[in-house]
Amino acid sequence: MTPRTTDNAPRVAPPRDLTIPDEGSRTARDVLSAAMRRLLVDLRRVAALPGEDPADAQAFARALAWALQHAPGAVVSALRRPTAGAPLRCARNALHGAGDLAQVPAWSRELRASLLADLAAQGALPEPVRLSRPPPRVLAPRARLAVAVPAGSAVTFAPGAMRVGEREVPLREGDAPGDLITRPYHLIEGEMLLAEADNNPLSMFEAHPDKEGNAIDLGGRPSQEWVDVLRGCLDLTARYMPALRAEMDLFVHQIVPVGYHDHRHLSASYQESIGTIYMTLHPNPMTMTEALIHEFSHNKINALFELDPVLDNAFWPLYTSPVRPDPRPLHGIVLAVHAFQPIARLYEAMTAAGEPVSKSPDFQRRFAQIRKVNRDGAEVVLGHGVPTAVGRGLLDEMRRWDEHFTA
């Protein structure tokens, strides 16, 4: 949610359809692939840090070197999950002067444990890897479990399992006995999970003036209700925006519940935790679908921000925002328009298809409100933004859709 350096980032072509994908588009896939190439470079740098745990760092570095040579796809797959990606990006940013250096050792421990747990679950380790100073809990979403680590216990990772002290923990779905194990992950679709566990170091840092962090909270609703509602949102998106729905499978790994509200919806995402969406539950299916598309779009453009700032004047001066009460830099207004234009496209497609809900006055009022938000936001960005070469592609698309909805 804050600016990050893009020094030495892999090059990416100016995106033509990163906001609303054309059928068969590879734009989002190419952006994500380039962002992952950058993260692999960051991983090697952070893995080389001895920090406070030199023996653990050496063991991790040896296992990583082997996996990068013999199972590189497994490393990328593990790194795409926010349980590994978020602590890595936080550590990287701190090393670049955009974070708390004092937290790097803790974030490094979180990274090692999360990545090794995922590699172990994939069977992509050559031999057991022992961490003498693991974090207090190891998250393994691939196996849909979390493992508590008693103070002073070492953890050993091996193909298909991990050992906490002398206690064996199978890294697989299904029943796994033991008081150390919880099952905080619930399948939504594909690899997308409802996550009642989260190790994003920044989850309680909140930029929105109406929120105070993202504490995990089902809001008194059963997890299955959350899953059913989210599946309905995904189905609605697939029906009217199939290309956008397909992109969600590339990016979204976990949706973290942060409460229930009858009258408003609050959601969030972080550039450091690409793959995570924080959402409240709301009784209106359209409100939920809007939030899903909105935060997914933030994940998608955050991958681009890993590679390029998009605007040369992204963070100063401040301008009136069409969606926030506080003045915002152009970076934030770009985020807003990029997220609301695909929502407008959904409303347009549902209206054109004669979807019954689209015939209600409330639906059409909301559609008009969304178009106005986009028009006001695009006017600010297109009138004042100084795009980079890559950003020019994004702003050209913004202009095309602004003209479309204005017409």
Q: DSSP string of 1-43?
A: ------TTPPP-PPPSSSSSPPTT--HHHHHHHHHHHHHHHHH
Task: Examine residue 104 and state whether it is found in any structural domain, yes or no.
Answer: yes
Residue 325, in any domain of the structure: yes
Nearest to 12 by CA among 315, 330, 400, 305: 305
**Residue 285, domain member (yes or no):** no
Last residue of a domain, one of 183, 208, 238: 183
In a domain, 97, yes or no: yes
Q: How confident is the model at residue 7 (pLDDT cuts 50, 70, 90)?
A: low
pLDDT of res. 1: 43
Residue span of the structural domain in which 150 resides = 48-183
Structure tokens at 209: 């003036």
Residue 39 forms part of a structural domain: no
Rounded to two decimals, what is the model's pTM? 0.94
Residue type, 163: R
Q: Assess whether pLDDT exceeds 50 at residue 3.
A: no
* Tens of pLDDT, residues 224-256: 999 999 999 999 999 999 999 999 999 999 999
| Residues 6+ away with beta carbon under 8 Å from 302 | 269, 270, 271, 274
Q: What is the DSSP string of 68-95?
A: HHH-HHHHHHHHHSHHHHHHHHHHHHHH
HSE, side-chain direction, 13 A CA sphere, residue 210: 9
**Domain endpoint, select from 183, 215, 247:** 183
CA 219 from centre of chain: 22
What b/e sequence results for 105-141 when a residue is b if at least 16 CB atoms lie within 10 Å of its CB, and e otherwise? bbbbbbbbbbbbbbbbbbebbeeebebebbbebbbbb
Confidence check: pLDDT of 63 > 60 = yes
Q: Which residues pair with 131 in a beta bridge?
A: 155
In sign, the C-alpha dihedral spanning 52, 200, 156, 112 is negative
Structural domain contains residue 212: no
For β-strands 254-260 and 192-195, DSSP reports them as parallel
- Look at the chain and report how many structural domains it folds into: 2
